[in-house]
Amino acid sequence: MEEKSYKEYLEHITTFIFDVDGVLTDGFVNVTSDGELLRKMHVRDGYALKYAINAGYNIAIISAGTNEGVKIRLEGLGIPHVYLGSTNKVDTFKQYIKETNIKPENILYMGDDIPDRQVMTMVGLPTCPQDAVPEIKSVSKYISHRKGGEGAVRDVLEQVLKVQNNWMV
């Protein structure tokens, strides 16, 4: 049986779930002299997230990180489901789909490293940035041409919204 092209999954996506470090950020952490961890996020990813929310898509974040600045940024974009400090992403994922009654086959998940792998096998469209680890690339139906923190999130959001005629309408 022939494998579907990732583009065939785009028309059924209603929900996006993203990891933070390595997906919304470049995966690097700057450490200040007082121990604060600083990350950078691409403003174009932020614009696309806000645009997708305003177009009626569901957006969630599942991350093991606990940075308060990240939480403020994501909530400021209007993301209603921000799960930080998730030590078991599968449990968090199951909780999210139960609370929202969203079908896994309608979810695009973007992760970049081993903690994302199991959840990625449970969704309709597992994706990753270009610089994800090989174990994640092997389960992804789409690998962005962009790196984490450098527009990979914008890439997948824009593709889905364009296929569904919801981009720049």
CATH of the domain at 138: 3.40.50.1000
Residue 34 labelled as part of a binding site: no
The confidence score (pLDDT) of residue 163 equals 95
- Residue appearing with tokens 């200040």: 32
Spell out, as residue ranges, where the chain has pLDDT lower than 70: 1-3, 169
The confidence score (pLDDT) of residue 41 equals 94
Residue 19 labelled as part of a binding site: yes
Q: Does 10 fall in a domain?
A: no
Q: Does 5 fall in a domain?
A: no
The confidence score (pLDDT) of residue 2 equals 56
The confidence score (pLDDT) of residue 5 equals 82
Q: Does 41 fall in a domain?
A: yes
Q: Does 159 fall in a domain?
A: yes
Contact (Cβ atoms closer than 8 angstroms) between residue 126 and residue 143: no
The confidence score (pLDDT) of residue 116 equals 98
Percentages helix, strand, coil for the chain, rounded to the nearest 5? 35, 15, 45
CA distances from 78 to 59, 65, 72, 149, 154 (A): 9, 19, 10, 19, 16
> What is the number of domains present in the chain?
1
Residue 21 labelled as part of a binding site: yes
Q: Does 6 fall in a domain?
A: no
The alpha carbon dihedral of 96, 97, 102, 105 has a sign of positive
Contact (Cβ atoms closer than 8 angstroms) between residue 39 and residue 70: yes
Residue 100 structural domain: 16-163
Q: Does 9 fall in a domain?
A: no
The confidence score (pLDDT) of residue 78 equals 96
Torsion angles phi and psi, residue 43, rounded to 5: -65, -25
Contact (Cβ atoms closer than 8 angstroms) between residue 24 and residue 18: yes
Contact (Cβ atoms closer than 8 angstroms) between residue 29 and residue 39: yes
